[in-house]
Every structure is written in structure tokens, then in C-alpha cells.
Amino acid sequence: MTEKQEQHRRDPQYKQAKRHGYRARSAFKLLDIQKRYNIFKRAFYILDLGSVPGSWLQVAKKFAEENLNKYKDQYYHRDHYKIMGVDIKKISPLENIKTVKMDITTLEFQNEIEAYFEGEKIDLIISDVSINKSGNKFSDHVRQINLCFKIVDIIKKNLKPKGVFVVKAFQGSDFNGLFKNLKSQFRVVKTLKPKSSNKLSNETYIICLGKK
Ligand SMILES: C[S@@+](CC[C@H](N)C(=O)[O-])C[C@H]1O[C@@H](n2cnc3c(N)ncnc32)[C@H](O)[C@@H]1O
């Protein structure tokens, strides 16, 4: 085991994640976002981008299952859920979740979405996709924002009107361009640096509610 892996294993949040049965500590970031913005409200069709190792999928499944019983009323509800996770790396299987090993920026991925959701629009799209960091904060920021714009194309095609979108970005000079673009497409757009996110990193999440 490398020194970095050992440090990671000693991390209290890593231990807490393991105690809760989560595959990674990132689960707590999504739970922080949920606590603040209730993004899983009436979410039955969910797409998780950049899923490995799978802790966001675990969280999504928990809420989607709860929603089946919680929302049995005259408003929008479903009697089943569909969750799809995608990553360029292989995702270890999770029961009742569709996992695909694919680059999200490809045309094949769009075809895969349409096939799995059978042409229906998605309630919630969450993205923790992260570029492979080079260590150069500026170029990493620019590459991450470019990737976020490609993800915006995915939500334009697949997220339902009034749908919710969460995306990880890195703070920097191009951040405002992305933020403004999202503001034109959603009723409410906020940023959140989850408590569980590394204080030294420039990562932040953009939470977009109510697609226009
Ligand atoms: C921070 S990790 C996600 C952690 C995950 N949310 C969890 O809770 O377990 C970011 C992931 O994005 C994936 N990724 C980066 N670029 C991608 C791309 N173009 N297509 C698909 N996945 C990508 C990486 O392989 C990596 O596994």
C-alpha cells in the first residue's frame, strides 16, 4: 500500500464511511447537499455521472427506495425507480442499479441513456465527475470547467423540466461563465462547499433547482 493510501485509510471520514457501509467518504458530500437542498425530493429516475467507487449511487438508491413509499399521492410519483451510474472505470455492481463503463462525452453514452430510461426524461442528474488532476491548479480548473460544459449538454437533452442538477466544479476564473450559463437554464442556482469536502481543495458543487 502506498503512503497516500495508508493516510487515506487512517482518515476519520473514511472510517466513518466504512462504518455506514459506504464505498467512499464522498457519500457525506452528497448527504450534506441533500440536507441543505432536498435534491432527492420526488426523484425516481436518477443519473449519476462519474460513479466509481459508487458511494453516490448507494445514497441515491436509499432515497429513491424511500421515495416509493413517501410519495404515493396525486402529485408526480412512480411505482418504480431507475438509477444509472457511469464511469470510465468499471463500477462494482450494485443491486437494481444499471452501471456502465463509458466516457460520458461520447455519443454512445447518449444512446445508452435513451435506451435505459426508454426515452423518458430524468428527475435528477448528479455529477461528481472529476478530471485527472495534474497538480497545476489553473489548468486543472479550466479542464474541469470544460468537462462541466459537456455535462451541461447532457442535462439539456435528458433532464426533465423542473428537474434538479448537481455538478462538481473547481473555483477559478472560468467558474462564473459556467455559473451564469446554469442561471439561464434553472430557476435557482446555488453553490455549496460541503463540510466534508477537503478545505484546501478548490472544489465546489453547483446545485441547480427547477430546470426551465
Ligand atoms: C471523485 S470520483 C467519483 C466518486 C463517486 N461520486 C463516489 O461517491 O463514489 C470521480 C470519477 O469521475 C470519473 N470520470 C472522469 N472523467 C470521466 C468521463 N469523461 N466519463 C466518465 N467518468 C469520468 C473518474 O473515473 C472518477 O471515478
Rounded (5°) CA angle 191-194-197: 120
Could you identify the atom of ligand 1 that is nearest to the CA of residue 48? 6
Q: How far apart are CA 183 and CA 211, in angstroms?
A: 10
- Walk along the chain (212 residues) and give the pLDDT tens digit of each residue: 666 666 666 777 778 888 999 999 999 999 999 999 999 999 999 999 999 999 999 999 999 999 999 999 999 999 999 999 999 999 999 999 999 999 999 999 999 999 999 999 999 999 999 999 998 989 999 999 999 999 999 999 999 999 999 999 999 999 999 999 999 999 999 999 998 888 888 999 999 999 99
Break the chain into its structural domains and give their ranges.
25-211
- The strands making up 45-49's β-sheet, listed across from edge to edge, are 98-101, 82-87, 45-49, 122-127, 159-170, 203-211, 186-192
| 25-211 fold | Rossmann fold (3.40.50)
Residues with C-beta less than 6 Å from any ligand 1 atom: 23-24, 26-27, 50-56, 86-89, 103-105, 128-130
Q: Whose CA is nearest to atom 20 of ligand 1?
A: 103
CB 78 within 8 A of CB 64: no
Q: Extract the C-alpha cell encoding 14.
A: 473514511
Please name the amino acid found at residue 140.
D
Could you identify the atom of ligand 1 that is nearest to the CA of residue 132? 15
> How many angstroms separate the alpha carbon of residue 109 from the centre of ligand 1?
14
CB 94 within 8 A of CB 81: no
> How many angstroms separate the alpha carbon of residue 76 from the centre of ligand 1?
30
Decide: helix, strand or coil at residue 211: strand
- The confidence score (pLDDT) of residue 201 equals 87
